[in-house]
Homo-oligomer: A and B are copies of this chain.
């Protein structure tokens, strides 16, 4: 059993803990797997939003420092910290093109994504007006879930044609297999990974046959990356959640519970004697409102409860959450032992969704991090 160190009793609860040994194991595992599959790993910073964590994520690939971002603020943060091979992996809002152009003129190497003719037209017009060259990946829809043009859509070639100007450069194709989050077993995940691969390779082949260069072939989601068996002709994988893992990933079979590297430290503040439940000082402000396991075989409520050392207390979940209050209950309805959990004792809550829970905090309190004397790593936030 991989127990964590005891968090500092002086910490004011609730706060976010990062078990760095677990994080390093997640980083190593995915880096080794992508290396074995012959593909670069372009970490997505949206989960951690921490340059200290990002430095750990890029360490296994010396000489490569490509990163994925989901906001312009994340791009600015990476650039300010000396990282400058950036892919902004949300289809570009035309209203942000002026801000992007300013960054390109300051030397930022930022690639954009789009999936439709109207955006392509606006990108080209803005490139002319602002006298820059936007580097563009076309987003491919692999699952019908969100954004992207389908690999067999006639618009794909037309978008490429429209981008063939002095003010825009087609750099390749990318996709995101969000549909993998809806899988509930290994065969579904293997199939999702194969479908993701087929979609992006199919799109690249069509573009190449139509005479366009397609140097970048990019895909990614933590579940599909975990179960991918074939990355042939893919140039990079974009993943972020793998660094921390969470209960959604554990529910999908992507990780084990003791791979989950972040947790919220909380304190028991009351005993609900009529219900046999604990009141804790971590509500949705600390845990987030994410209920990502609600439709899983095992519903973890607002999070799975561990003792202060990180040992999972398998039957205890956060049943409900107000802003600064949580209620811990036994998932089978048995009364919780008040003797075992006196008022003032501390617990840790594993998150449903690492991205959402971490976003509620300004930084990470470190456990088991040998490389630094720092006790806390800050996070960035916001959009502009």
Give which listed residue, B12, B288, B343, contacts A289 with CB less than 8 A.
Answer: B288
**Majority-rule SS of A interface residues:** loop
Give which listed residue, B70, B288, B346, B355, contacts A95 with CB less than 8 A.
Answer: B346
Instruction: Indicate if the CB atoms of A122 and B70 lie closer than 8 Å.
Output: no
Give which listed residue, B15, B72, B359, contacts A383 with CB less than 8 A.
Answer: B15
**Does A115 make an interface contact (CB < 8 A)?**
yes
30 A-B pairs (CB sep. < 8 Å): A12-B96, A13-B93, A13-B95, A13-B96, A15-B384, A46-B323, A70-B323, A71-B324, A90-B324, A91-B269, A91-B270, A91-B279, A93-B269, A96-B267, A115-B270, A118-B271, A118-B342, A118-B344, A119-B270, A119-B343, A122-B343, A122-B344, A146-B327, A147-B279, A147-B325, A284-B356, A289-B290, A289-B291, A323-B355, A362-B382
6 closest A-B pairs by CB: A12-B384, A289-B289, A94-B344, A93-B267, A118-B343, A70-B324
**Does A129 make an interface contact (CB < 8 A)?**
no
- Note all chain B residues with C-beta closer than 8 A to A360: 359
- Note all chain B residues with C-beta closer than 8 A to A196: none
> Which A residues are closer than 8 A to B by beta carbons?
9, 11-15, 46, 70-72, 90-96, 99, 115-116, 118-119, 122, 144, 146-147, 178, 267, 269-271, 274, 279, 281, 284-286, 288-291, 322-325, 327, 342-344, 346, 355-356, 359-362, 381-384
Q: How far is the CB of A247 from chain B (nearest CB, A)?
A: 14
A12-B383, A288-B289, A342-B118 as given contacts; A267 in contact with B147, CB under 8 Å: no
Q: How far is the CB of A279 from chain B (nearest CB, A)?
A: 6
The docked-state distance in angstroms from the alpha carbon of A381 to that of B378 is: 14
Q: How far is the CB of A57 from chain B (nearest CB, A)?
A: 17
- Note all chain B residues with C-beta closer than 8 A to A284: 290, 356
Instruction: Indicate if the CB atoms of A116 and B271 lie closer than 8 Å.
Output: yes
- Note all chain B residues with C-beta closer than 8 A to A116: 270-271, 343
The docked-state distance in angstroms from the alpha carbon of A42 to that of B353 is: 35
The docked-state distance in angstroms from the alpha carbon of A14 to that of B90 is: 13
Instruction: Indicate if the CB atoms of B90 and A281 lie closer than 8 Å.
Output: yes
- Note all chain B residues with C-beta closer than 8 A to A327: 146
A12-B72, A322-B178 as given contacts; A362 in contact with B344, CB under 8 Å: no
The docked-state distance in angstroms from the alpha carbon of A93 to that of B118 is: 55
- Note all chain B residues with C-beta closer than 8 A to A285: 359
Q: How far is the CB of A301 from chain B (nearest CB, A)?
A: 14
Q: How far is the CB of A126 from chain B (nearest CB, A)?
A: 10
- Note all chain B residues with C-beta closer than 8 A to A144: 274
The docked-state distance in angstroms from the alpha carbon of A322 to that of B116 is: 20
- Note all chain B residues with C-beta closer than 8 A to A384: 11-12, 15
Q: How far is the CB of A103 from chain B (nearest CB, A)?
A: 12
The docked-state distance in angstroms from the alpha carbon of A118 to that of B271 is: 10
Give which listed residue, B147, B274, B356, B383, contacts A13 with CB less than 8 A.
Answer: B383
Residue of B nearest to A344 (CB): B94
The docked-state distance in angstroms from the alpha carbon of A46 to that of B99 is: 33
- Note all chain B residues with C-beta closer than 8 A to A96: 12-13, 267
Given A13-B95, A122-B343, 8 more A-B residue pairs with CB atoms under 8 Å apart are A91-B269, A91-B270, A91-B279, A93-B281, A118-B344, A122-B344, A147-B279, A284-B290
Residue of B nearest to A271 (CB): B116
Give which listed residue, B147, B267, B344, contacts A270 with CB less than 8 A.
Answer: B147
